[in-house]
Structure 1
Amino acid sequence: MIAATKRKVLDGLNRRYIYGRVPLLHTIIFIIEMAVAARIAAKFNTYYADKPVLTTMATNAVLGGVADTVAQLITAFKARSQQRSSEDTEFISIEIPDLDKRKPSGAGELGYMRGSPPPFDFERLTRFMAYGFFMAPVQFQWFGFLSRAFPLTKANPTVPALKRVAFDQFIFAPFGLACFFTYMTIAEGGGKRALTQKFRDVYLPTLKANFVLWPAVQILNFRIIPIQFQIPFVSSIGIAWTAYLSLTNSSEES
């Protein structure tokens, strides 16, 4: 009984140690990413005038990384709060004899404490940054097409802006989401079955969520924002959206 009690106390201390370490790492990475984003923002006009596509690609990559880091932070804090709430229950039941003597009570197969916040996933971060980087030229060409096809006029700029939004939401948005889930599934090592399941389970709900958020954002974007800032504006607003995509993709993966 005394040995089991000591083991439970040590498990609790180990969990608290992990809680302090993992979210701190997430936070440090987030701060570094924001510093890089601030640096790009300060020099954006200069970089864009020289190399517009490459500047857009770098900006998209950094903001995609910020979004995934936010998503991983949310997951870590949720795991922390859930485990803290369960610790009270464990403390109440600490006097109950441990019936399973064959396995340590707190350690998993890889040495992580059960229920502890997940460590920072650098591979997942790299996937999101790569997706933002390589998707930027496609977005660049698309936004250029919209500006040429529906030029804003001083007499009536609202109608062309609405046409841009309609084309963007009914043509590019479904295509972009399909690219996202296809890329992520393949990058995670999934095959045709995993891709089919992901499209069946999460594609349509995500597309519906897209139609709730993005039409209003794109009206503002096409109506007011200069063309060189349109993709960075979408990427900045899209931090929350990409974090949502990251959480959706990771929950389906798990």
Structure 2
Amino acid sequence: MAIIARLVSRFNAYYDERPLLTMMVTNAVLGGIADTVAQSITSVRERALRKPGGIAKDDNVAIEIHELDRKNPWNEHDLIPDSIHLPPPFDFERLTRFMAYGFAMAPLQYKWFSFLSRAFPMTKTSAFVPAMKRVAFDQLIFAPFGIGCFFTVMTVAEGGGRRAVAHKLRDMYIPTLKANFMVWPAVQIINFRLMPVQFQLPFVSTIGIAWTAYLSLTNASDEVEQPKTAPYSPNIRLQ
């Protein structure tokens, strides 16, 4: 608890001095954590699903028995599985893109939360209704925009053109938006109702770690059967 209190105190001090820069760095760090968690979970899952059968190279007893059969000698191809059976290596370029996206989107998210705070002020006598208005505006205006922005920016950053962006939005936009409506309204009610303004963006970014991991696992379910370039899971908050 003392460590947490010290971190909160340090964060508040940085926020008081440079609020926007503090949010940008925080968003980038949490975005990197989110993508690292997502890649790690996907790697563990693919390793379990793609584990090759047969004899492992470190199984000395089985190798010695197999070598007794002179007519069918053991070859290196049998000992080392094809690369398709191995989980993908950690993608540092993807991690960099996630962090850069979180860093670049933080000013827009910061301005948006500030706008909601000014447009729907909350008081001790009137808190629930303004909070619900903030959630409604956030989910009906910023969420659809943010999801589209995420897939567009990430696809372009991967080298895709207009057609690739159109395909990504066609395949991913509506399912992601539906999932967003199942998760984020409840999160934002807590966020706008309980969190001070300086903690609102870090709060949704922290919750977004689990959100990104969930979407990564959902996307990876098809990739195991037919390996291909992994589509990006939304960043710490997509929005």
Q: Structure 2 counterpart of 1:53, which letter?
A: L
Q: Structure 1 counterpart of 2:194, which letter?
A: I
**Corresponding residue of 2:161:** 191
> What is the rounded CA distance, in whole Å, between the counterparts of 2:218 and 2:203 in structure 1?
23
> What is the rounded CA distance, in whole Å, between the counterparts of 2:151 and 2:217 in structure 1?
12
Asked if the contact 1:40–1:59 (Cα under 8 Å) also holds between the matched residues in 2, the reply is no
Cα offset, 1:48, TM superposition: 0.4
Cα offset, 1:165, TM superposition: 0.2
Higher relative contact order (CA 8 A, sep 6+): 2
> What is the rounded CA distance, in whole Å, between the counterparts of 1:67 and 1:240 in structure 2?
7
**Corresponding residue of 1:56:** 23
Asked if the contact 2:30–2:205 (Cα under 8 Å) also holds between the matched residues in 1, the reply is yes
Q: How does 1:125-204 map to 2 (within 5 A)?
A: 125-204=95-174
Q: 1:75 aligns with which of 35, 42, 46?
A: 42
Q: Does 1:228 align with 2:184?
A: no
More off after superposition, 72-81 vs 130-139: 72-81
> What is the rounded CA distance, in whole Å, between the counterparts of 2:219 and 2:45 in structure 1?
17
**Corresponding residue of 2:88:** 118
Gaps of 5+ in 2: 60-65, 231-239
Deviation sequence 1:64-120 (CA, Å, 0-9, x none): 000000111011101211133x425999xxx8x99xx9x946566xxxx33111111
Distance verdict in 2 for CA 1:249–1:49, change over 3 Å: farther
**Corresponding residue of 2:234:** none
Distance verdict in 2 for CA 1:230–1:78, change over 3 Å: same
**Corresponding residue of 1:66:** 33
Cα offset, 1:43, TM superposition: 1.7
Secondary structure of 1:185 counterpart: helix
Distance verdict in 2 for CA 1:244–1:59, change over 3 Å: same
Cα offset, 1:241, TM superposition: 1.5
CA-atom RMSD in angstroms: 2.9
Distance verdict in 2 for CA 1:118–1:239, change over 3 Å: same
Gaps of 5+ in 1: 1-36
Q: 1:241 aligns with which of 187, 191, 211?
A: 211
Structure in which a larger fraction of residues adopt helix: 1
> What is the rounded CA distance, in whole Å, between the counterparts of 2:216 and 2:97 in structure 1?
10
**How many pairs does the alignment contain?**
208
**Corresponding residue of 2:237:** none
Q: 2:183 aligns with which of 203, 213, 218?
A: 213
Distance verdict in 2 for CA 1:40–1:188, change over 3 Å: farther
Q: Which runs of 4+ in 1 moved over 2 A?
A: 37-42, 88-91, 103-108, 242-254
TM-score relative to the length of structure 2: 0.77
Q: Does 1:47 align with 2:17?
A: no
